[in-house]
A and B are shown apart, each in its own frame.
Chain A
Amino acid sequence: MIHQFDITLDHFVVADGKAVAAKGAKPLGRLNSEELLHLLEVFRNTNPIQAFEAEPEIVIHTRHEKYAVRTDLHRLHLYDLRHPDLPAQVLEAPALIAEVNLSASEARASRIKSAQGDTPDESGTGFSNNRVPSLPFMGPSRTLTPHSHAPWLLGSLAVFLAISSLACLILFRGEPKPVPDSLITEVNALSTLRRQLAGVYTTGNSPGHHGIVILPDGTLKLFEINRDLPPSLLQETYELGLFQGKPCLVIDRLEPLILAPSAGTLLYCDQLYRKAETGEAPPR
């Protein structure tokens, strides 16, 4: 089968074999495979510096396809203009012609069928293996290129790292802080409960015992009774809430909940605090 190709030259003078930036696109006419092979060889031998400056190009039209051939360091780059997202193939002139006249892709299809144990129907395909030039490996495949692998590899790495991060969070997270079931925000209820809870609560009156002074202004003092020294004090602000239906004070500590299980008692860090008699002065 004789193939014909419509050729247009851009920035290239075929007679001199020179690349000229001032030379515009010029149709060369219809060439057969042998003529195209000669043209490509001439084109391939373009001075690389001229090729770099003028960017010469051969545009090849076939019945259904349109290609562009460019050159740099005596190499030929084939672009499929109908699929501009595909990278160029660097080919020798015979292999390039085989790509353009589709015999290369048909040969690949034939080899795939052979590998699958299916005898190719040569009469149906209209070509003979003898006519297909022996093709070296064509370099990057059109569907699986190293370039197209990179995002997938990086994406897989990102997914792996995301899963690792989640695992770290799950494995290394501390125990959750106990939280009240709800916070009391209604002003009247808040001030009433603050007044009811206000007072001095202690676990005892010996050194090492602890106490809590609740003030109705939303602050409290945690203290420890010392042997021969004034009590050690910590000052906090508190919010009021409900925990399992009972009032509680919420503070910013490792143990954030002070429970009020009944009137006159507090439960904090497993210690029971009892309200001191009225008139007992809180520690300063």
Chain B
Amino acid sequence: MSGSNAAELVRRQSKGGSLTGLLVGLVCLLLGLFVAQQLISHFRHKSRCEKHLQNLASFVAAIQDYQARTGSVPPGNFGTRDFPKGLELALAKSPWLEPSPFGGSYVWISPLPERALDDDLGRESPYVGAIGIQAFPPESELALTREDLAYLREQLDTGRIPGASHAVGFTGWPLCKVKPRR
């Protein structure tokens, strides 16, 4: 065996080592991208939820103000994208007429349809209505995930917005049930 062969072997070994490093680096890069994608997706969804919760807080405050002032609640505006009657001024500067952060449009549901599980105790529901999101065609579909729903439920059911709680609405769309202000 000559020294040239030895040097060639060394060179090959060195090349093999760098190839292994390259492959491992590539795997690291892909894993890194995957982690980054997961994180970005998570924070994007969370920011949408936060925006939606901010919107809900302003809507709930307007509805509770109206109820405290007049002693009644605005009627539901089913099937329309208008302001609920009586809340035109209160919601004029709010994003009520804009699409929700998940798509679709906001709707005020009052009175609440009877819910199968609310009837178990036979008590009158304290909720006077609910703010929902609707996405009937030709509006765009809701880009809402079960993770978003879980986050909204957690935030609303732990008192993030006073007098509001979460419910699953039609086809799973989120509802924010509203109680009168104490």
Q: What residues make up the interface of A, taking CB atoms closer than 8 Å to B? A: 10, 25, 55, 57, 59, 66, 68, 70, 79, 81, 84-88, 147, 150-151, 154-155, 157-158, 161-162, 164-165, 168-169, 172-177, 203-204, 206-210, 222, 224-234, 253-255, 267, 269-272
Contacts and interface: CB of A to CB of B under 8 A. Distances in A.
A207 B108 CA distance: 12
A57 B171 contact: no
Interface centre among B3, B6, B79, B137 (most CB of A within 10 A): B3
Contact of B7 (A70, A154, A173): A70
Contacts of B79: 207, 224, 226-232
A154 B25 contact: yes
B78 A224 contact: yes
Contacts of A234: 136-137, 171
A21 B31 CA distance: 49
A84 B3 contact: no
B53 interface: no
B9 A255 contact: no
Contacts of B172: 253-255, 269
A150 B110 CA distance: 66
B101 interface: no
* B interface secondary structure, majority: helix
B68 interface: no
Interface stretch (B58-66, B86-94, B145-153, B157-165): B145-153
Contact of A168 (B13, B35, B78, B80): B35
A175 B154 CA distance: 13
Nearest to A235: B137
A75 to B, nearest CB: 15
